[in-house]
């Protein structure tokens, strides 16, 4: 039986994860082709792709805690792909809105973004995700340097907050916050774990420095 590490390092593991990430897209594409997206297919597409963007943000944030807690460093090899799928779904979300809701009428889209704050926040999330997607490659990391690259990619924390705000504002019109609270709880838990790890490392560093000064 293959160990967990060997299974994750297997040549087929990345193609399998890739296909799993594409399943929501295939499902929506099939639904659109067979007219199974409900009475308002445009709204279904826009909302579903927005939901999947938020879900992928949560999945990306989950990789590091899962890697550390389960002591499975090989999980990190999937993070780049998952991050790029976050961008894939946000691009489809934006295209669905621009095409199906606004007919690619650029002046109308700009007017709508300025007029409606929740769309402005969503568009800002897309803009912040763009440099992360464009610098997801080894050459970009080498060019930028690891520290600057890591600093830039910490934007995902800001993006997760903006994504939640976008979702909250959208649901505010119908006073329906149940799903918003679920996502907010997951993001708070994942960011809280990072904060806890940061504080723990700081304390350990202080203790080590204190011990060294006594030698």
pLDDT tens per residue, range 172-181: 988 889 999 9
Average pLDDT over residues 190-211: 88
**Per-residue confidence at 215, pLDDT binned at 50, 70, 90?**
low
88 with 114: CB under 8 angstroms?
Answer: no
Q: How many residues in total does the chain contain?
A: 215
Looking up tokens 């489809």 gives 92
Alpha-carbon distance of 198 to 215, in angstroms, equals 26
Q: Given this model, what pLDDT does residue 175 score?
A: 86
Average pLDDT over residues 128-154: 94
Kindly tell me if the per-residue pLDDT of 210 is higher than 90: no
Kindly tell me if the per-residue pLDDT of 1 is higher than 80: no
Looking up tokens 């969503």 gives 122
CA 40 to chain centre: 26
158 with 187: CB under 8 angstroms?
Answer: no
**Per-residue confidence at 213, pLDDT binned at 50, 70, 90?**
low
**Per-residue confidence at 7, pLDDT binned at 50, 70, 90?**
confident
Kindly tell me if the per-residue pLDDT of 206 is higher than 90: no
Q: Given this model, what pLDDT does residue 28 score?
A: 96
Alpha-carbon distance of 1 to 88, in angstroms, equals 35
Ramachandran angles phi, psi of 173, nearest 5°: -60, -30
Q: Given this model, what pLDDT does residue 135 score?
A: 95
Kindly tell me if the per-residue pLDDT of 114 is higher than 80: yes
Kind plus residue range of the DSSP H or E element containing 37: none
pTM across the whole model: 0.92
**Per-residue confidence at 6, pLDDT binned at 50, 70, 90?**
confident
Q: Given this model, what pLDDT does residue 209 score?
A: 73
86 burial (CB, 10 Å; 0-12 / 13-18 / 19+) is buried
Average pLDDT, the chain: 93
Q: Given this model, what pLDDT does residue 30 score?
A: 96
Q: Given this model, what pLDDT does residue 163 score?
A: 96
Alpha-carbon distance of 183 to 160, in angstroms, equals 10
**Per-residue confidence at 208, pLDDT binned at 50, 70, 90?**
confident
Q: Given this model, what pLDDT does residue 2 score?
A: 61
Scanning 34-154, the segments in alpha helix (DSSP H) are 41-69, 79-96, 106-115, 117-134, 138-144, 146-153
Average pLDDT over residues 120-135: 96
Average pLDDT over residues 36-47: 94
50 burial (CB, 10 Å; 0-12 / 13-18 / 19+) is buried
Please list, in sequence order, all residues whose beta carbon lies within 8 angstroms of the beta carbon of residue 119, skipping any fewer than 6 positions away.
97, 112, 113, 166
Please list, in sequence order, all residues whose beta carbon lies within 8 angstroms of the beta carbon of residue 32, skipping any fewer than 6 positions away.
41, 45
Token readout for 156 is: 């995902």
Alpha-carbon distance of 87 to 118, in angstroms, equals 19
CB environment 188-199: b (16+ within 10 A), e (fewer): eebeebeeeeee
CB neighbours of residue 94 within 10 Å: 19
Q: Given this model, what pLDDT does residue 214 score?
A: 63
């Amino acid at each position: 039986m293959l160990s967990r590490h060997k299974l994750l390092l297997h040549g087929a593991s990345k193609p399998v994860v890739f296909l799993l990430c594409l399943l929501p897209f295939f499902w929506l594409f099939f639904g659109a082709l067979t007219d199974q997206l409900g009475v308002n297919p445009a709204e279904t597409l826009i909302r579903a792709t927005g939901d999947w963007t938020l879900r992928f943000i949560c999945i990306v944030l989950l990789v590091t805690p899962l890697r550390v807690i389960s002591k499975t460093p090989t999980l990190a090899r999937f993070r780049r792909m998952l991050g790029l799928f976050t961008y894939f779904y946000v691009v489809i979300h934006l295209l669905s809105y621009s095409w199906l809701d606004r007919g690619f009428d650029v002046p109308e889209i700009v007017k709508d973004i300025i007029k409606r704050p929740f769309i402005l926040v969503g568009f800002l999330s897309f803009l912040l995700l763009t440099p992360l997607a464009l610098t997801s490659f080894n050459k970009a990391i080498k060019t930028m340097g690891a520290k600057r690259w890591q600093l830039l990619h910490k934007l995902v924390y800001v993006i997760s907050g903006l994504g939640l705000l976008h979702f909250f504002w959208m649901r505010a019109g119908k006073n329906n916050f149940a799903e918003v609270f679920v996502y907010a709880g997951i993001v708070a838990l994942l960011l809280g774990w990072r904060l806890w790890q940061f504080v723990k490392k700081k304390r350990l560093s202080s203790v080590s420095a204190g011990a060294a000064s006594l030698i």
